[in-house]
Structure 1
Amino acid sequence: MTSSATTCDSTAVTYLLAGVDLAWGEKNGDGVCLIAYRVATTQEPASARILAHTHVRGDEALFAALAFSTPDMPVYRFFAFDAPLVCVNAAGRRPVDGLVSAAFRAQHAGCYPVNLRLAPRPLRIAARLAASGFALTSGLPTVAMPRVAAEVFPHPALVRWLGLDRILEYKRKAGRPRARSDAEFARLQRSLAGLCADQFPYLAWHADSSALLTTKWRKPVEDQLDAWICALIALWHVHHAGHHSEVFGDDATGFVLTPCAGADLQGGNSRLLG
């Protein structure tokens, strides 16, 4: 079992973590995965549980899904978005897009170029997050900064967690045979189950989690699995207190948070389950 890099006294620190597969345009839906996380104390080990898997459409529905509340409201919030949250360039691409593409070119996990013209909805969502008190950064939440939103990218995370030589090609694209993408989608589902068992044994699943790992491809299912991966990136980052994460880029021009390389994984035996 992986051990938490953070241990508190007898009073548990709690987080609400969110993974969001955010649609860049106005027509498609957003996948959302919510996780409650309790930091280890001197009396109890770290624990986490998936609160919800949802698929929503539109800004208002998204923020309603993210406004999850319980009687024991978490102290901190860390939301991980598969979408650009910071961009200042009017054209071309951000520096971070080039950095990630160079680092993962061999595995075909490069970034799409991001500029102000290409990503209006993600940047609109980011502005609303900032207006509601979220810091757009890869830093961990603190008392002075209890709400954080970060950009993540599932493909590089899976490359590193699973030791892939090439990304799982489960996205349906022109020119990619349907049978190929369906087979890769099934591999993603099996691999995600194995990853959770190996690296996140302290994570309790939601009643809907198993169904997402056995249902045949549909776009809402794909979006929710991508959101689950985003939430795991957030959980990994918080659980290990940032010590096993890497940040490409910077807060001023754009950044992407990703797990460290497979050789740096602590414990477990994450692998691609073919």
Structure 2
Amino acid sequence: MQYIGLDLAWSSKNPTGAAVLSGDRTGAVLTETRLLGSDDEVLDFVAAQAPAGPCLIAVDAPLAVPNLTAQRPGELALARVFGGYQAGAHPANREHLTRYNGGQIRGEVLVERLARLGFVHDPAQVQQDEPRAVVEVYPHPAMVALFGLTRTLKYKRKRQELARMHEDWATYHTHLARLDRAEPPLSGLEPLLAHDPAALKGRQLKNHEDQVDAVMCAYIALYAHRFPERCELFGTLDAGYILTPTLKERWRVKVS
């Protein structure tokens, strides 16, 4: 089965990172990374990689935003657990997000169009043996939970010292490289991680960031499929939510 990660840009004017893992809940290999543009490009990519059969798509972007202003209840709930790790989410509301995509929220448009390809928008689907579903995820709390971080990595911060940014990039790469020994394991990252972020600037660095974050999204999908009881849903499908691996003390006991 396929696990697809999308670091979806809020506007189609900016690149969207995409990554594909092939395998099953016991482990997978990275088979593709790409930079995509328009909604049509994103849908064509998904259709080519997973024309039928089981597939989980994990998207780092709001997929359901019913609130006009303020933030979704799920973001508040996430902040109560992960705020101390600096891993809270940006507030998502219609007033803000519709400015980027011609009056529409891009994640909601994506969900509607994916439905025509047979994808169900429902985080509960990660518990199914052969899901064909799309879910909203957020890499920062996932990295805290999966990598045992005490704070989020500041590889994206725009106004920090370069040395700190490069240090956090190196840490990010190190943790990703170790996923081949994780549970579930992910292999095939060597070509992507061969790039040295310290040698990249401007758009090249941003392109690398988008693709690496897409890989992280895809791994969240794989992990949630393998360990749904180790993941947490902050919010609800109707009011908006974020699905993420959670802290060990918050794992649920698996019912056999």
Residue type of the alignment partner of 1:187: T
Structure 2: runs of 5+ lacking an equivalent: 98-104, 252-256
Secondary structure, aligned partner of 2:109: helix
Are residue 118 (structure 1) and residue 72 (structure 2) matched?
Answer: no
Deviations 1:59-104 (CA, angstroms, capped at 9, x unpaired): 122122222348xx76211100001111111111111111112211
Which residue number in structure 2 is paired with residue 18 of structure 1?
Answer: 4
Matches within 5 A, 1:1-274: 15-38=1-24, 46-69=26-49, 75-119=53-97, 120-140=105-125, 146-173=131-158, 175-201=159-185, 203-205=186-188, 208-212=191-195, 214-216=196-198, 217=200, 218-240=205-227, 242-262=228-248
In structure 2, the CA distance between the partners of 1:74 and 1:239, relative to structure 1 (3 Å rule), is farther
Larger helix share, 1 or 2: 2
Alpha-carbon distance in structure 2 between the residues aligned to 1:199 and 1:141: 16
Residue type of the alignment partner of 1:171: K
Aligned-residue offset at 1:117: 2.6
**Percent pairwise identity:** 31
Alpha-carbon distance in structure 1 between the residues aligned to 2:72 and 2:107: 14
Q: TM-score, normalised by structure 1?
A: 0.78
Aligned-residue offset at 1:230: 0.5
Aligned-residue offset at 1:144: 11
Aligned-residue offset at 1:135: 1.7
Contact 2:177–2:189 under 8 Å retained in 1: no
Deviations 1:20-46 (CA, angstroms, capped at 9, x unpaired): 11111232101111111235xxxxxx4
Contact 1:170–1:182 under 8 Å retained in 2: yes
Structure 1: runs of 5+ lacking an equivalent: 1-14, 40-45, 266-274
Q: How many residues align?
A: 239
Query: CA-atom RMSD, angstroms?
Result: 2.5
Q: Which moved more, 1:110-119 or 1:121-130?
A: 121-130
Alpha-carbon distance in structure 2 between the residues aligned to 1:86 and 1:34: 23
